[in-house]
Structure 1
Amino acid sequence: MGTIRDWLSLPTAEPAEDYGFFGPDSVTWKVWSYPTSLSIGFQRAVVIEELDPALVAAVDHTQGIYQRPRTRYDRTLRYFAMVAFDDSPSAAEVADVLVKIHSKAVGTDPVTGRSYDANDPASQLWIHLTAWHSILCAYEKFGPGRLTDEEERQYWDECARAAELQTFDPADVPRTRDGIREYFDQMRPQLIGSDIAKKAMNHLLRAEVMLPRMPLLLRPGTRVITALLRRATLATMPRWMRKMGGLGTSRVLDAAIVPPMSAAFTVISMSTRLQLILLRLISPATLPIGTRVLRGITPHCRVTTTPREAQQLYGYAIPAQAHREFREKQHARVFGEGRPPSEQGIVESEPLLGTIS
């Protein structure tokens, strides 16, 4: 009973230092704080990402999504929440540490035979745009609907601002819906529905992998809910991507899932308590950040800044230039000495993103 009371209680959180990179008047806060984001939007992103042969090679090598899927989901969701909602010192720090984390993900893709590096600008752009596009797709399909033209321009401008935390050039971020569509069209010939990609996509579509072990009485209901989430996520994905991943493409089911899921998300969006209960269930590491946003806890300073300004203020190099010596050592260990890479980045990330175990 104590656990149930804890789940139902309304959590509190300490004020942030500032409003970070966007703030409550941004389109990012409007879209990313809607309950479609942490479920369908984020699930869509991590599923689609696996079609990139370089990314899925790194994922398959570590086996993290299979051995500790809940932890992996929790840490990744917290990272994106920090970028979107957290204060500027915290977001700048975690982005800097992420470069070290990604330095571990280097190797040779067994499918294409090419080397991969998670810090490669092209790989980073793929992850970034897939995430921001997926969050928006889920919001528009199962949430309040399409953004206005002005809001959409602002959303992609904010996406480019967040890109200052990545290793690629923020100028490479498209600023329109047509530009995003063109980017995915250009990526299409490079994507591969390999066996390891299909395995990863099917695994990540099982929403239950991101949940804690449920009480016996709740398991039948949990299976129904996760099946609906799977179907809803599929309904947001282009059919060519689904075919590449060996996934279902039923137009009837795509249409049928929209009314009940839209109604469910509308109900959830009307209750701060319910949203925080679900966030605690899905991503406990993200709960403090979500609590500040959903409960409107005012930061110490009601200002926003840009990642570049924060990097300069707090003494971090821009990501493309960060930790070059460390990254070169990681390459030498893997490609030159045939040894596993250092875990230093993972260790340093645990106070920021939560433990890896």
Structure 2
Amino acid sequence: MSRSHPPLPSSDQWTATEDRLGFFGPDSVSWRIHSDPSFSVGGLRALLLQALHPVAMDGVARFSGGFREEPWPRLIRTATYVDTLTFGTRTEAVRAAARVRGIHHRLGATEETTGRTYRVDDPDLLLWVHCCEVDSLLTVARRAGVPLTDEDADRYVAEQVTAAELIGIPRADVPDSVAALAGYFEGIRPELAVTAAARDAYRLITVPPMPTWVRYLTPAQGAWGGLAALAVALLPQWARRMYSWPGLGLTDAAATGALVAFRQALLRLPQRAQRSPIVWAGWDRVAEAPAA
């Protein structure tokens, strides 16, 4: 794998129309998956999966400021970044990627269990995070009932190569099909482990700290607990075995049924409540644009 980072594109490489549509556009599978209510569960599944890489997890534990005390800001930042890359203009997406690259470039350490000295922007670590995200969002969307053919699934993985390149991964190293993505996970599994940092992350994701009044006087704890339990149950079986938590008592069929019910419940909410303002700003921008 190359250790060099591809340069970010510049605004002289696209037209005003291309900028407005962003790197994916409303006809992409990425817009379809990332605007679906199942996105939130897929995002939690991705974080749980990402924690199984000792070096990548060490970077999160060391440098995601205050993650142990307040995981919410990191979760919000991550979702905002993905939304901006997907639904923002090309200019906005590149600006967001440049900001994250700048932060990553300054950070590095040595992970104790492996002895590896790393930088947060090592391409193989970025690739791990990318593949966990793509696999999780796609898997959860399909199991939730989003109508996606096998061709759509391959197209989504291929589209997301652009997101990988924006964050700094050489395009040639990124899986561009469902089969290639499965092969990536098969090859990397011997490097994975449940470290102390991974167990901390698991606890923070499944039982996050909340103010006492929120925990006991609102339905937040129960609602989040259900969402997190669903994300755990949707992990690959090999990942659930690593965590020694087979799925919180849910069979694969039961987990899929619960996910479908969750998505259907959210689809009954007002559309603007289903996803972030960044998502709907993208749809509005495209809808308001004059016909070509």
Percent identical? 28
Match of residue 8 from structure 1:
none
How do 1:92-107 residues align onto structure 2 when only pairs under 5 Å count? Answer: 92-107=94-109
Secondary structure (helix, strand or coil) at the match of 1:65 reads coil
Query: Which of 128, 131, 144 is the equivalent residue of 2:130?
Result: 128
Secondary structure (helix, strand or coil) at the match of 1:34 reads coil
Native 8 Å contact 1:92 1:165 kept in 2: yes
1:138-190: CA deviation from partner (whole Å, max 9, x where unpaired): 11112325x21321232122011222202221122222222111100111011
Letter matched to residue 78 of structure 2: T
Distance 1:212 1:229 in 2: 20
> Does the C-alpha gap of structure 1 residues 302 and 224 become closer, same or farther in structure 2, counting only changes over 3 Å?
farther
Match of residue 160 from structure 1:
161
Structure scoring higher RCO (CA < 8 A, sep ≥ 6) equals 1
Native 8 Å contact 2:54 2:113 kept in 1: yes
Letter matched to residue 241 of structure 1: A
Match of residue 188 from structure 2:
187
> Does the C-alpha gap of structure 1 residues 17 and 175 become closer, same or farther in structure 2, counting only changes over 3 Å?
closer
Match of residue 85 from structure 1:
87
- How much does 1:108 deviate? 0.9
How do 1:163-182 residues align onto structure 2 when only pairs under 5 Å count? Answer: 163-182=164-183
Distance 1:114 1:299 in 2: 50
Letter matched to residue 277 of structure 1: A
Distance 2:22 2:175 in 1: 23
Does residue 23 of the first structure (1) align with residue 25 of the second (2)? yes
Between structure 1 and structure 2, the one with the greater Rg is: 1
Native 8 Å contact 2:52 2:198 kept in 1: yes
Native 8 Å contact 1:232 1:254 kept in 2: no
Native 8 Å contact 1:157 1:175 kept in 2: yes
Distance 1:19 1:210 in 2: 39
Could you tell me the TM-score, scaled by structure 2's length? 0.84
> Does the C-alpha gap of structure 1 residues 212 and 292 become closer, same or farther in structure 2, counting only changes over 3 Å?
farther
Does residue 291 of the first structure (1) align with residue 280 of the second (2)? yes
Query: Which of 114, 117, 134 is the equivalent residue of 1:115?
Result: 117
Secondary structure (helix, strand or coil) at the match of 1:78 reads helix
Match of residue 13 from structure 2:
none
Letter matched to residue 278 of structure 2: I
Compute the RMSD of aligned alpha carbons. Answer: 2.7
Query: Which of 208, 219, 225 is the equivalent residue of 1:227?
Result: 225
How do 1:292-331 residues align onto structure 2 when only pairs under 5 Å count? Answer: 292-293=281-282, 298=287, 300=289
Could you tell me the TM-score, scaled by structure 1's length? 0.69
- How much does 1:295 deviate? 5.4
Native 8 Å contact 2:143 2:259 kept in 1: no
- How much does 1:296 deviate? 6.8
- How much does 1:98 deviate? 1.1
What are structure 2's unaligned runs of at least 5 residues?
1-17
Aligned length: 274
Distance 1:276 1:214 in 2: 24
Does residue 263 of the first structure (1) align with residue 261 of the second (2)? yes
> Does the C-alpha gap of structure 1 residues 122 and 211 become closer, same or farther in structure 2, counting only changes over 3 Å?
farther
Query: Which of 240, 243, 259 is the equivalent residue of 1:245?
Result: 243
Does residue 48 of the first structure (1) align with residue 49 of the second (2)? yes
Distance 1:278 1:67 in 2: 27
1:315-335: CA deviation from partner (whole Å, max 9, x where unpaired): xxxxxxxxxxxxxxxxxxxxx
Match of residue 203 from structure 1:
204
Match of residue 11 from structure 2:
none
